[in-house]
Amino acid sequence: MIDARNLSKAYGEVQALDDVSFEVAEGEIVGLLGPNGAGKTTAIKILTGYLQPDEGSVTIDGLDVLTHTLEVQARIGYLPENAPLYPELSVQKYLLLIADLRQIPAADRILRLSEAVHATSLTEYLARPIGTLSKGLRQRVGLAQAILHQPRLLILDEPTVGLDPTQIVEIRRLIKRLAQHSTILFSTHILSEVEAICDRALILMNGQVRADARLSELEATSDAILVLQEKVKNVEGVLRGVPGVRDVEQLKSHDGFPAFRVLGAPKADLTPAVYALARDNNWPLRELRRDVRTLETVFNQLALSEEDDTSSADN
Ligand code: ATP
C-alpha cells in the first residue's frame, strides 16, 4: 500500500529525513515512532503529497505521489498534526463542506456522513460549533473528515497528542476499529501507544529508520546479555559459533565494561550455552542474563546508541 524509497529532506542545515525507506502492506497498522524532531511529520507530509522530498520516491497503492498527487490525496484519509477545523462551523456543516471538497456524490453524502459520525461517536454533537468542542471531540471530528470518503489508507499525525488519558483511550479504540477496513500509518512519540494499537513499529531517529519491528516477533524474542570484567579477544567470533546464535551485537553504555547482546531464535534461552562458553574459555564474567526484547528495550537501546554517536561526534 505504501512504498517509500530513499526519502531525504533537508530544511536548510537540518537534515529532517536521511535516506528513509519502508513499505506498508495492505491491512497493516503501523506506528511511526520517534522522539520530537525525529522527522515523523516531514515523512507524513511527503507520503501525503504535501511536501516534496529532495530525493526519493513514494508510491501509494501503486501511484507515484509526486506525479499523481491529487489522485493519491483522493485515496487517502489524512489527519494532520493540527487539523484545519473551522471553529465557527457546526460539525455537520464542516463535514458537508469536506464531502463537497472530496467530491462525494450528492446522493451518497448523507449516508457517508452518518457512517463517519457513527464511527467517531459524534452523533450528539452534529449541531455544535466546532470551536465549542473539547480537544478530544475536535480530534474525533478530524478523524471523521479523514474517513468520510472511505479511504483504504489512513495516515494520522500524532492523533492523540494533547488529549487527556480518557480521550487517548477513546481515540486508540477508534483507530483500532477503523483498522478493520483500512490500512493505517500513524505517528507518535509514545511507546505504549504503538504497543496498544500496532502490528508493527518503524522507529525513526534523527531522520533515519533505525528499526522496523513486528511486535509479535519482538515479544517472542529473547536474547542473552553478557558483560565481561575486561576486554577479551574475539568474544564475538566465539559467540557466533554457538549453535542457535543468530547474531551478536556489541553494546554500549555498560559503565565501560565490554558488553554483548547475543541474539537467538524466538523463545530460545541462550544463557546456559553462553555460560558454558564463558567458563570453558575462562572469560572474566561480570554479568549474564536473559533479556526479553520489548519495544521499550529496543527503543531505549537505540536512543542510547544515538546519544553515544552524538556525543562522540561532538568530541
Ligand atoms: P515532532 O514530534 O516534534 O512534531 P517530528 O518527528 O514530527 O517532531 P519533524 O517535524 O518532521 O519531526 O521535524 C524534523 C526536523 O526538521 C526537526 O529538527 C525540525 O525542527 C525540523 N523542521 C521541521 N519543519 C521545518 C521547517 N519548516 N523549517 C525548518 N526546520 C524544520
DSSP assignment string, 91-159? HHHHHHHHHHHTT--HHHHHHHHHHHHHHTT-GGGTTSBGGGS-HHHHHHHHHHHHHTT--SEEEEEST
Strands (E), 189-258: 200-205, 208-214, 222-228, 245-251
Q: Which residue has the cell 555498560?
A: 254
Name the percent of the chain lying above pLDDT 90. 61
Q: How far apart are CA 189 and CA 41, in angstroms?
A: 11
Residue 41 Cα: closest atom of ligand 1: 7
Reported as a single tens digit per residue, the pLDDT across 65-120 is 999 999 999 999 999 987 778 899 999 999 999 999 999 999 999 999 999 998 88
Q: How far apart are CA 10 and CA 54, in angstroms?
A: 7
Residue 232 is predicted with a pLDDT of: 93
Is pLDDT at 220 greater than 80 in this prediction? no
Fold (topology level) of 2-218: Rossmann fold (3.40.50)
User: Mean pLDDT of all residues in the chain?
Assistant: 89
C-alpha of residue 40 to centroid of ligand 1, in Å: 8
C-alpha of residue 38 to centroid of ligand 1, in Å: 7
Q: Which residues, at least 6 apart from 250, have a Cβ–Cβ distance to it below 8 Å?
A: 236, 258, 259, 260
Q: Helix, strand, or coil here: 261? A: strand
The reply to whether ligand 1 has any atom less than 6 angstroms from the CB of 120 is: no
Residue 145 is predicted with a pLDDT of: 94
Q: Architecture of domain 221-290 in CATH? A: 2-Layer Sandwich (3.30)
DSSP string, 151-188: -SEEEEESTTTT--HHHHHHHHHHHHHHTTTSEEEEEE
Is pLDDT at 169 greater than 70 in this prediction? yes
Average pLDDT over residues 148-159: 93
315 pLDDT tier (thresholds 50, 70, 90): very low
Is pLDDT at 188 greater than 60 in this prediction? yes
C-alpha of residue 43 to centroid of ligand 1, in Å: 10
Amino acid occupying residue 135:
K
Which three cell numbers, joined as nine digits, stand for 82? 493540527
Domain with CATH 3.30.70.3100 in the chain: 221-290
Residue 312 is predicted with a pLDDT of: 53
- CA distances to 4, 21, 62, 65, 185 from 59, in Å: 7, 12, 5, 6, 14
Domain with CATH 3.40.50.300 in the chain: 2-218
For 214-217, the CB contacts below 8 A with 24+ separation are 215/295, 217/266
The reply to whether ligand 1 has any atom less than 6 angstroms from the CB of 188 is: no
Q: How far apart are CA 246 and CA 262, in angstroms?
A: 8
The whole-model pTM stands at 0.81
294 closest CA partner among 235, 236, 230, 211: 211
Reported as a single tens digit per residue, the pLDDT across 15-35 is 999 999 999 999 999 999 998
Which three cell numbers, joined as nine digits, stand for 75? 485515496
Best mean pLDDT range from 90-94, 214-218, 263-267: 90-94
Is pLDDT at 284 greater than 90 in this prediction? yes
C-alpha of residue 185 to centroid of ligand 1, in Å: 18
Residue 309 is predicted with a pLDDT of: 61
Q: How far apart are CA 160 and CA 201, in angstroms?
A: 17
Residue 204 Cα: closest atom of ligand 1: 6
